Chains A and B, each alone.
Chain A
Amino acid sequence: MKSEKVAIAMSGGVDSSVAAALLVEQGYQVFGVMLRLWSEPGREGSNRCCTPDSMAQARRVAAQLKIPFYAINAQDIFRQVVVEYFLDGYRSGITPNPCLLCNRFIRWDFLLRHVQTMGAEKMATGHYARLRVATNGNVKLLKGHDENKDQSYVLSVLSQEQLQHTLLPIGEYTKPQVRQLARDFGLPVAERQDSQDLCFLAGQDYREFLKRNAPDVIKPGKIITRSGQVVGEHEGLGFYTIGQRRGLGIQSTDPYYVVDKNVEENLLIVGEESDLRFVGLIAEDVNWIENTPPALCFDAEIKIRYKARLVPGIVEVKDRQIVQVQFDQPVRDVTPGQRAVFYQGEEVIGGGMIRKAIPISTQEEASS
């Protein structure tokens, strides 16, 4: 019997339920927690991270495992940090990824501190990623065993200090193995729809959310090409993402794609598909898993959004928190606001928020 006290962040789904069961089996003193996150008033029933149903489910799993379970109120801080960031992101013309911010500031700061106050030495989650303690004592973040389910991308924002206090019990397993474990433990195998929707959008389009909560974001303006030709009107920059083709309302024989936004002048910039190909990016607010970069310039595989494929390139450290990435081959849809995460093999080295995508043309201009 280990005396170490561990909190498991539960969602009611199969992954965190199996993680909890594994911890109990390993002999930890386990208690379950679930965050009550912010929902728009009147839509509390449909927040996909903490519906009454999922909370009831988590509570039942905890009862079955004979562990205490507590709901922690994070509504105010979630509204202040995550939702504000989401709205500010659209105000400044980027496509924000609030889930990463939630991991960094809500799950691994607010919640981790709470469970530590409750006496837990570590907090566990049901993410598909693995942790390894290196010889120097540092914790390394590795991809999950199940490549299809790997969630190391969303954990790349965690600090070394936070990782030191984290356990990821299901990272060693594949999804089918986890389902089997759930059956073996006699746990419900029900799952939340695997959706990329944000929890607080309550299943609705983010554009509707913006209209209700940040009407100032919705300023119609002109759509222009890179050469400055006006080709249409946009409904508000927040409604468009880089790489988008449909719904631009432009009459033209050749398809136009959103390639950039000019927030100062409220212009949506469109171009051809080839304009979407980027040779590199600048990322800022870089988090290094082991606190420092492995070298000032290193080869890596880069992921430019959660579900993107890894692409090879070179990461050049400009400053501790700013890097420039050069891809070996041009890459499509590099989107400011998303995070670029750098891998070496199965190990996450670090990641930063994409500030600027470097198009082929700029590079040619710069080198000529």
Chain B
Amino acid sequence: MNNSLDKIYLDYAATTPVDERVIEAMLPYFNRQFGNPSSVHIFGQEAEAALEGGRETIARILDVSAGEIVFTGCGTESDNLALRGIALERKLRYGADRILISPVEHHAVSRTARQLADHFGFRVEFLKVDSFGIVDPDYLRRIIDRDVAIVSVIYGNNEIGSINPVEELGKICRNYDVPFHVDAVQAAAHLPMRGIGNWCDAASFGAHKFYGPKGVGALFIRKGTPILPIQTGGGQENGIRSGTQNVPYIVGMAKAFELAQTEGLKNQASLIQHRDRIISSALENIKGIYLTGHPIKRLANHASFVFEGVDGNQLLILLDAAGFACSSGSACKTGDPKPSEVLLALGISPQVALGSLRVTVGKYTTLNEVEKFVTALPLLVNKIRKLLMELKGG
């Protein structure tokens, strides 16, 4: 009665269930073809074949060469490797010490940049975003120079769904020979990734955002891009990321990526339909609610809001009790929510930023589930506002 089976999952941006076909693809590599890909013997050769097959699959989808794919432990690790590895190497080689990021990055990027500034002598500068959280290319043009070690911008925003003009930003960087990294962790499930090597030098992916397993990610790193290995050891992954590769998970990631970039991209229309139903219904039926992020240039599955006079954490709890699993920018399991830095960067007040909600649909979401949700949401928001009034009055 209290378990998750009869609940409605609307948090696909947090993670996704693993596709059955992906599980199928992974299974042989746990206990049958279980070898270490670095081993000389047949067990190792079988594992290596699977590993390199996975690498080739991803390279083919991106239209890059296999040697430009590095497998990691997750999207966050990919972001860390790109930022830290490229920035440090560019500083060592050329003395480049500026890091340009947007103020709406995932913590995997923003906190890595902050550490590089605090402890490794870099200067972090923030690009300008508009009220939708979209980066202004003209501002980048104005401040970029050859002393910039790396520019990093999120492709599709995890919190507010906005899609950045990454191609334009990447081409600006290339004019200055400055490496451009995109955090494509959210975008990979919804936007075509083919040809990204034409405008970016590094791109981060995490498998569990597109129906693959947790605990595996990849970094596209364009040939010739200076990068210092962050994890050293046996020299796997071209020496860029040492450590025995997680073969079954890599196989799963490749399968999931292939599915996402083929049939997944074809299914975007139904996601958009669900998304727009949620957005228009919420804006219509609830007072004091605002869409966060861009109304059109946004991820196909992503609806995000802020509410006046609603505690976002409380709303999540109520939604969960009513059977809906959602998320918020200030989600906090310990009852100590902080307003999201991303929402503050859009100019939203801290009080309103605490009242945020993120609803993200996926390929298993049904119209019936969406209808149940849009019926329940206004009632729950009213309940919370009523409780708040009572507590203030009494």
Q: Which residues 320-352 of B have a CB within 8 angstroms of A?
A: 320-322, 332-337
B263 at interface, CB cutoff 8 A: no
- Would you call B314 an interface residue if the criterion is a C-beta within 8 Å of the partner chain's C-beta atoms? yes
Task: Check if A117 sits within 8 Å of B318, measured CB to CB.
Answer: yes
Q: How far is the CA of A34 from the CA of B335 in the complex (A)?
A: 8
Given A66-B2, A67-B2, A73-B313, the answer on whether A113 and B335 have CB atoms closer than 8 Å is no
Q: Which of B178-194 contact A (CB under 8 A)?
A: none
Residue in chain B with minimal CB distance to A70? B317
- Tell me which of B2, B311, B335, B387 contacts A35 (CB under 8 A): B335
| Chain B proximity of A103: nearest CB distance (Å) | 16
Kindly identify which residue among B2, B320, B335, B384 contacts A72, using a CB–CB cutoff of 8 Å: B335
Question: With A29-B2, A66-B3, A67-B2 known to touch, is A73 a contact of B335 (CB < 8 Å)?
Answer: yes
Tell me, in angstroms, the Cα distance from A70 to B333 when the chains sit together.
7
Cross-chain contact A29 with B313 (CB below 8 angstroms): no
CB distance from B22 to the nearest CB of A (A): 27
Check if A71 sits within 8 Å of B335, measured CB to CB: yes
Query: Distance (Å) between the CB of A97 and the closest chain B CB?
Result: 22
What residues of chain A lie closer than 8 Å to B296, measured between beta carbons?
none
Decide: B1 and A29 in contact? CB cutoff 8 A. yes
Binary interface profile of A, 48-67, with partner B (CB < 8 Å = 1, else 0)? 00101001000100000011
Which residues of chain A are within 8 angstroms of B337 by Cβ–Cβ distance?
73
User: Using an 8 Å CB-CB cutoff, how does the interface string of B97-111 with A read, 1 for contact, 0 for none?
Assistant: 000000000000000
Separation of A71 and B141 alpha carbons in the complex (Å): 46
What residues on B are CB-neighbors of A77 within 8 Å? 391
Considering the chains assembled together, what is the distance between the CA atoms of A59 and B384 in angstroms? 24
Q: Which among A35, A36, A66, A118 is the interface contact of B317 at CB below 8 angstroms?
A: A118
Q: Give the residue of B321, B384, B390 whose beta carbon is less than 8 angstroms from that of A68.
A: B321
Q: Is A110 an interface position by the 8 A CB rule? A: yes
B224 at the binding interface (Cβ < 8 Å): no
Contact B387 A113, beta carbon cutoff 8 Å: yes
With contacts A72-B317, A109-B394, A110-B391 taken as known, whether A36 is within 8 angstroms of B334 at the C-beta atoms is yes
Point out the residues of chain B lying under 8 angstroms from A73, CB to CB: 311, 313-314, 332, 335-337
Partner of B390, one of A35, A36, A67, A113: A113
List of A residues within 8 angstroms of B314 by Cβ: 72-73, 114
Residue B383 at the A interface, CB < 8 A?
Answer: yes
- Give the chain B neighbours of A304 by CB distance below 8 A: none
Distance, CA A231 to CA B3, complexed state (A) = 68
Pair A118/B313 contact, Cβ less than 8 Å: no
CB distance from A333 to the nearest CB of B (A): 35
A113 touches B317 (CB 8 A): no
Residues of A within 8 A of B335 (CB): 34-36, 50, 55, 71-75
Interface residues of B in 158-174 (CB under 8 A from A): none
Q: Tell me the chain A residues, 108-123 only, with Cβ under 8 Å from chain B.
A: 109-110, 113-114, 117-119
Measured between C-beta atoms, what is the minimum distance from B126 to chain A in Å? 27
In the assembled complex, the Cα of A72 lies from the Cα of B332 at a distance in Å of 10
CA distance A34 to B317 in the complex (A): 12
The listed residue with most A CB atoms (<10 A of its CB), out of B321, B335, B387, is B335
**Chain A contacts for B333, CB-based, 8 A:** 59, 71
Contact with B along A71-89 (1 / 0, CB 8 A): 1111101000000000000
* Shortest Cβ distance from A73 into B: residue: B335
The residues of A that contact B3 with a CB separation of less than 8 Å are: 66
What residues of A have a CB within 8 angstroms of the CB of B394 in the complex? 109
Looking at B311, B322, B333, the one whose CB has the most chain A CB atoms below 10 A away is: B333
* Residues on B with beta carbons closer than 8 Å to the beta carbon of A113: 387, 390-391
- Give Cα distance in the complex from A109 to B391, angstroms: 8
Please report which residues of chain A, range 100-153, place their CB below 8 angstroms from some CB of chain B when the two chains form the complex: 109-110, 113-114, 117-119
Complex formed: what's the CA distance from A37 to B209 in Å? 35
Indicate if the CB atoms of A68 and B320 lie closer than 8 Å. Answer: yes
CB of A349 closer than 8 Å to a CB of B:
no
Nearest-CB residue, chain B, relative to A30: B2
CB-based nearest A residue for B337: A73
Judge if A343 is at the interface, Cβ distance under 8 Å: no
**Inter-subunit contact B317/A55 (CB<8 Å):** no
- Which residue of the partner chain A has the closest CB to B384? A117
Shortest C-beta distance, A264 to chain B (Å), equals 33
Q: Which of A66, A114, A119 contacts B387 (CB 8 A)?
A: A114
* With A55-B334, A71-B333, A113-B390 as contacts: A118 and B318 at CB distance below 8 Å: yes
Q: In the complex the two chains form, what is the Cα distance from A52 to B332 in whole Å?
A: 13
Question: How distant is the Cα of A230 from the Cα of B1 in the complex, in angstroms?
Answer: 70
Check if A257 is an interface residue, CB within 8 A of chain B. no
Q: Nearest-CB distance from A162 to chain B (Å)?
A: 12
CA distance in complex: A67, B2 (Å): 6
Q: Which of A70, A77, A109, A114 has the most CB of B within 10 A?
A: A70
Q: Enumerate chain A residues within 8 angstroms of B384, measured Cβ to Cβ.
A: 117
B386 — which chain A residues lie within 8 A by C-beta? 117
A59 to B386, CA, bound (A): 28
Cβ contacts under 8 Å, A52 to chain B: 334
Q: Which of B1-23 contact A (CB under 8 A)?
A: 1-3
Chain B, 359-394, contact with A by CB distance < 8 Å: what is the 0/1 string?
Answer: 000000000000000000000000110110011001
Residue of A nearest to B387 (CB): A117
Let me know if B334 and A117 touch, CB within 8 A.
no
Task: Identify the closest chain B residue to A109 (Cβ).
Answer: B394
CA distance A72 to B335 in the complex (A): 5
In the assembly, what is the distance between CA of A192 and CA of B87, in Å?
A: 48
A1–B2 alpha-carbon span in the complex (Å): 13
Q: Which residues of B contact A74 (CB under 8 A)?
A: 335
With both beta carbons as reference points, the residue of chain A lying nearest to B383 in the complex is identified as A117
Please name the residue on chain A nearest to B336 by beta carbon: A36
Contact with B along A1-44 (1 / 0, CB 8 A): 10000000000000000000000000001110011100000001
Least Cβ–Cβ distance between B239 and chain A, in angstroms: 39
Question: A75 CA to B313 CA in the complex, in Å?
Answer: 13
Q: Smallest distance from the beta carbon of A78 to chain B beta carbons, Å?
A: 11
Residue on A with the closest CB to B354?
A73
How far, in Å, is A24 (CB) from chain B's closest CB? 9
Residues of the B chain whose Cβ atoms lie less than 8 Å from the Cβ of A50: 335
Q: For the A-B complex with A31-B321, A117-B383 known, give 4 more contacts whose Cβ atoms are closer than 8 Å.
A: A55-B335, A68-B2, A68-B320, A77-B391
Q: 19 interchain pairs (CB within 8 A)? A: A29-B2, A35-B335, A36-B334, A52-B334, A55-B334, A59-B333, A68-B2, A70-B320, A71-B334, A72-B317, A72-B335, A73-B337, A109-B394, A110-B391, A113-B390, A114-B314, A118-B318, A118-B321, A119-B322
User: Shortest 3 CB-CB distances between A and B: which pairs?
Assistant: A36-B335, A71-B335, A73-B335
Give the A-binding residues of B (Cβ under 8 A): 1-3, 311, 313-314, 317-318, 320-322, 332-337, 383-384, 386-387, 390-391, 394
Residues on A facing B (Cβ under 8 Å) = 1, 29-31, 34-36, 44, 50, 52, 55, 59, 66-68, 70-75, 77, 109-110, 113-114, 117-119
